[in-house]
Structure formats: C-alpha cells, structure tokens
Amino acid sequence: MNRTLRGKVAVVGVGETDYYKRGESEDPEFKLALKAIMRACASAGISPKEVDGFASYSNDRSDPSRLAAALGCKELRFSNMQWGGGGGGGSGAIANAAAAVATGLADCVVVFRALAQGQFGRFGQGPQRNTIAGDMAHTVPYGLMSPAQMFAMKVVRFMSDHKVDQSALRAISLASYHHAQNNPRAVMHGRPLDEAKYDASRWIVEPFHLFDCCLENDGAAAMVLVSAERAKDFANPPAYVLGATIGSHFRAGASVHNAPDYATSAFKTLAPRLYEMAGVKPADVDVLQSYENFTGGVLMSIVEHGFCAPDECNEFFTPERLMAPGGGLPTNTSGGNLAECYMHGLGLNIEAVRQIWGQSTNQVDGADVAMVISGPMVTPVSNSIFGSEATL
Amino acid sequence: MSNAYLNPGLPQPVPSPDGLDKPFWEGLRNEQIFLQRCSSCHGWQWGPEFVCHHCLSMKLTFEQVAGEGIIYSYERVWHPVHPALKEQGPYIVVLVSLPQAGDVRLVGNLLGDPEQKVPIGAGVRAVFEHHPDAKPAAFTLLQWQLT
C-alpha cells in the first residue's frame, strides 16, 4: 500500500475577507468565516452547497455543523479540528482535509480559520485573575505569560548556542514588510520598514523588537480541496498537495519548558518526513511561506528544514535572499503574519497556492514548488508542500 | 510585599486541583524544593505528571532537591502584557536547570539589576520569595541569584 498524500488532492479555490486591525472588523467572527468560505468557493467556481467537509485548527469557534446548515450544504461528511494552539495546525488542517478527500471520507473539504479578537479577546495579553493553577502557575507569577515571552526563551538559547546576530531576525522582518508593500490586502501596505526603523523600535522581549512580532488581526481565510481527479475541471490550475506532516519531537510537550530538545522550532522530526512524502529536496523549493509568530521561529524553522546550517545564520539571513522575485529563498511573499495579516497562518497557505497559480503580488517566476511551515515552537506543528501540474 | 521582585497584582499560584504539584508549592513555603521522582526507576521529571515518562511506573513521589542550578536560558521582558506590570520596567525571567535532579528545569526571576548581562551556563542559587499575607492563600515563589 502506497501511504502518501502526494498528488492525490489539490487546492482549487482560495478566499479571504478584508483583513482588519484587531478589534476593527464590523462583522462578528462567524460572519467572517462565512464570507471567506463563500469567496473561496467563488474562486473555485462551485456553490458552497457542494462543500461536504470542514477542517480547522486552534480551537476555531465556527462550528462545522452550523456552517453546513448556514450554507445549505447538501450533506456533511467530514468535520475536523486539529488539536493544538497557535498556528501549529495550519498545514495540519490541510493534511487532515487532504487525507479525508484522498480516502473517500469526503469529496470537497474547506479548510478555514476565522478570528475576531475584538469579539473574543486578545492573544497577546496575560491572564487577569486572582489565582492561577496548573502549568501556568509555574510561569505567570514570574511574568512569563504571553506567546512572545514563551518563545523568546527558546530563541535566546538558540541564538546563544549558534552566535546568531540580531541582523538575522531583522532580515526576516524586512522581507515581510517589503512584500507587503506590493500586496493591497496587507494591513501594513503603505507602511514600509527599513533597518533604522527596525533598530529604533522598542523591545517587546529580547531578542524581539516590535517588528519581530506578528500582528493581531480580525478576518477569515478559506481554501477548497478536491481530489486530483476532479481538480482539472475548475477554473484555477490545481495546486496539488505534494506532502504534509503533523507532530513534534520527543516530549516536546513536557510542561514548564522541560522539552529535552528545547531550542527548536519543533520541526526536526517533521522536515525529513515532509521531504520524503513530497519527493523534493530543499533546493527544489521555489518559494517558502514560514509562519512568523516571531522572527526567531522563522529562523529556526528554516534551519530545521535544511536551508541553512545553524552556525551559518548570520551569512544566510539577508533581506535580499528572502525577497521575491530574485532572492535565493523568497520567503513570506504576501507579507505574512508580520505585515499582511495574522490569520493564524492560513494566509501563508493561500499565498503558497497563489504562487503555484502565478497570481501572487510578489510572484516568483515559474514557481512550481511552494512550501509552508506552520506555527513553529508550539506542539504539534505542521508543514506542507504544494506543487504545480509539472511536479507530478 | 515590598521585597518581591515583581510589582504586586499578578495572578497568585495555587496548587492544581488534581493535586499534582501540591508538594512543590507546600515545600516552597518551608524554603524547600520538592520535585517529582519515580519510586521505581528513580528518574526525575518536571512538570509533574501521573506517570513516569522513563519507565511508565505510576509510583511517583516528591523528593527534596538542593537549591542550586544553572542558567539554561533567559529573557529580558520590556513590554508589559499585564496591568500589574505597567510601571515595572524591564525584568529578567530565567530558565534554570537542576543538575542534581536530572537537569529538569524551573522558571523564575533572576534577582539583581534587571539590565544586567545574563550568562547562560552560570550557577545560581535559590532565593525564597514569601508572600505570607496573600489572599486567598499565602504562597512562596522560587527566585534565583547568581552564585
């Protein structure tokens, strides 16, 4: 039995709402989800009534049964939530959806993520209550409580071990902001960043300046997946799922910062499996979307996916290398979570598909292989590779 | 509490309802560090769990450990994400590994100048920060000082 997702499922539609600064969406979260799903279906040229499955992640609140009822879906055959917080499930939800389609559980699955932080509260705030118990009791009273604070501890250790300079993190931020200037959807469109502005920006938690941190946004994003057999019947060229993996390394979830391999993006075990399933090597990757909760996570992700040796980060991470169209590894070509929109990273998967379609606002010429790395430093994490018809 | 490292008003730790970390918090009140150890294979583990990840025994106990560790990593926080820290200014959180307890790690603050250079790998010793008047219950935090 050939146990692989390679080439069996394709993305045929993508859609997103307008992207808003956190709290500024006039629409409630569920309405945002509906809008994104309907736009993704319109992009594919199908009626939402034909959708028979939904997959999401990070405890998305838009329930698939309500979605199916609201959209008049003829039948619901797959409803799936990838466990884990943050953006670690972005590619995982695609893996789950693709697995459902490949195995015949469903025929047309929508992967989506909707966020209205104005309606439901912010990510970047600490808990405000009198007492705290469990794992967080061992960190919050010491002032370690936000995502930036949870992950800086890993990045400090990695940068210390491998003598990585701040300029490597800055390069990642500059590339994202550069790409956002060409992307009218981007929240930071029209707000360019340069070295001086980055260097002068305030520390959030060392080694993260303000511009090393993702945005917090309202909006929704969605993708439509069908089997490879059907994929050629749609308006868009198929963006085939060449591979996708989910997971983390030994005891990555050990609490109170006790993962034995600590200073990692958590992709060391996933990356080889992804390359094997997709049948590609790092050198084959034409364009990369690498989840920026914080730039340090991108740094470790790129190292752990074999693009750069850990001790060579200072030479490797230059803005020019990361910028489309001419850089050696064009990365986060929509502006990503730093400068397009923080839709828990599903926007990165959409951008990978647009690159395969030749429709990016920062198009890489002839992009046939597009990789997505979702949610570094959490557990589980996930990743995916999309390919054009030429890659099959 | 005037000698506390951080300004008052952060959530106060209480033992988890399932009892897993109760001996740890009780120990700190008496200036003792108790961490989880397996009665079968004698392996250490932290955070506490219902089963030993080394040998899968469910016979776990808590054993006292000397308050001596090594800085494994650290971070200097500038941006307050809690109202209690608005006037705090920068502060240092350290991740300390305990060589005498299988290198398990604990999170605390590094006492002293919040803008000091923090040497990864340096030795630290435990300092017990008591909050005897806290409501609903007194508690003690485990802080660290360079040796």
| Res B141 pLDDT > 70 | yes
Candidates A124, A136, A263; nearest CB to B81: A124
d(CA A358, CA A362): 9
Sign, CA torsion B38/B39/B40/B41: positive
Domains of chain A, by residue range, sit at 9-120+214-391
Residue B2 confidence class, pLDDT cut points 50, 70, 90: low
Please count the other Cβ atoms lying within 10 Å of the Cβ belonging to residue A212: 28
A244's tokens = 């996708």
**A226 - beta bridge partners?**
A10, A108
Rounded-to-integer distance, Cα A336 and Cα A178, Å: 11
Cβ neighbours of A151 (radius 10 Å): 23
Band the pLDDT of A123: cuts 50, 70, 90: confident
Percent of chain B's residues with pLDDT above 70: 99
CA distance B54 to A334: 45
Residue in this structure with the two tokens 């705290």, named with its chain if needed: A132
As given in the structure block, the two tokens for residue B27 are 């120990």
Mutate to test the interface with B, among A149, A249, A257 (most CBs of B within 10 A): A257
How do residues A52-107 score in pLDDT, each as one tens digit? 999 999 999 999 999 999 999 999 999 999 999 889 999 999 999 999 999 999 99
**Any idea where the domains of chain B sit in the sequence?**
22-146
β A287-290/A381-387 pair status: unpaired
Pairwise CA distance, residues B55 & A380, whole Å: 24
How far does A163 lie from chain B, in Å, by closest CA? 13
Taking the C-alpha atoms of residue A25 and residue A30, their distance in angstroms, rounded to an integer, is 12
Q: For residue A146, which residues of chain B lie inside 8 Å, CB to CB?
A: 81
Output the CA angle A274-A267-A201, nearest 5 degrees: 125
DSSP per residue, A333-363: TT-HHHHT--STTHHHHHHHHHHHHT--TTP
Strand A369-374 to strand A217-227: parallel, antiparallel, or no bridges (unpaired)? unpaired
**Residues of chain A with pLDDT > 70: what percent?**
100
Q: Does residue A290 have a pLDDT over 80?
A: yes
Q: Which residue type sits at B110? A: L
Cα separation, A334 vs A359, whole angstroms:
11
Name the nearest CA neighbour of B37 among B22, B54, B25. Answer: B54
Q: Which fold has domain A9-120+214-391?
A: Peroxisomal Thiolase; Chain A, domain 1 (3.40.47)
Q: pLDDT at residue A149 above 50?
A: yes
For A238-257, the pLDDT digits (tens) are: 999 999 999 999 999 999 99
pLDDT at A125: 76
**DSSP state for residue A364 in the 8-state scheme:** P
* Interface contact A258-B76, CB threshold 8 A: no
**Tell me: the pLDDT tens digits for A301-328?**
999 999 999 999 999 999 999 999 999 9
Per the DSSP assignment, residues forming a β-bridge with B92 are: B76
Contact B93 A144 (CB under 8 A): yes
Put simply, the answer to whether A160 touches B120 (Cβ < 8 Å) is yes
* Portion 263-302 of A in contact with B at CB < 8 A: 263
Q: Is the CB of A153 less than 8 angstroms away from the CB of B95? A: yes
Query: Chain A 350-379, CB below 8 Å of chain B: which residues?
Result: none
Please indicate if any CB of chain B lies within 8 Å of the CB of A147.
Answer: no
CB contact under 8 Å between A156 and B79, yes or no, is no
Indicate if A240 belongs to the active site.
no
The tokens for A55 are 């997959």
Distance from CA of B2 to the nearest CA of A (A): 16
Alpha helices in chain A (DSSP H): 29-44, 64-70, 90-102, 117-120, 147-161, 166-180, 195-200, 228-231, 270-278, 295-304, 313-316, 319-322, 336-339, 346-357
Cα B105 to Cα A26, A73, B52, B66, distances in angstroms: 45, 50, 16, 13
Question: Is the CB of residue A204 less than 8 Å away from at least one CB of chain B?
Answer: yes
Comparing alpha-carbon positions, the chain A residue that sits nearest to B79 is A204
Q: What pLDDT is stored for residue A126 in this prediction?
A: 78
Does residue A122 belong to the interface with chain B, where contact is any CB pair within 8 Å? no
CA angle, A175 then A178 then A181, to 5°: 150
B31 part of contact set with chain A, CB < 8 Å: no
Note the pLDDT of residue B1. 46
Other CB atoms within 10 A of residue A69 CB: 11
Q: How far apart are CA B109 and CA B95, in angstroms?
A: 8
pLDDT at A85: 85
B129 Cβ under 8 Å from any chain A Cβ: no
Sheet holding B60-65, edge to edge: B44-45, B33-38, B60-65
Q: What pLDDT, on the 0 to 100 scale, is given for residue A121?
A: 72
The pTM for the full model equals 0.96
Distance of CA A313 to the CA centre of its chain: 22
Tokens of A324: 């489309």
How confident is residue B3, by pLDDT bands cut at 50, 70 and 90? confident
Interchain CB contacts (distance < 8 Å): A and B: 140
The vertex-A12 CA angle with A8 and A18, nearest 5°, equals 140
Q: What is the pLDDT of residues A32-59, one digit of tens each?
A: 999 999 999 999 999 999 999 999 999 9
For A361-383, b where at least 16 C-beta lie within 10 A, e where not — what string?
bbbbeebbbbbbbbbbbbbbbbb
Query: In whole angstroms, what is the distance from residue B24 CA to residue A303 CA?
Result: 38
Q: Does A163 touch chain B (CB under 8 A)?
A: no
Enumerate the residues of chain A whose CB falls inside 8 A of the CB of residue B119: none
Q: Which whole number is the average pLDDT over A189-199?
A: 98
Contact A221, A29 (CB under 8 A): no
Residues A370 and A386 sit within 8 Å (Cβ to Cβ): yes
Residues of B in contact with A145 (CB under 8 A): 81-82
Contact across the interface for A130 and B12, Cβ inside 8 Å: yes
Q: Which residues pair with A13 in a beta bridge?
A: A224
Label residue B107 left, alpha or beta by phi (over 0 means left) and psi (-120 to 50 means alpha): beta
* Binding-face residues of B in 73-92 toward A, CB within 8 A: 73-79, 81-83, 85, 88, 90-91
How close is the nearest chain B Cα to the Cα of A122, in Å?
11
DSSP A124: S
Cα A107 to its chain centre, rounded Å, is: 24
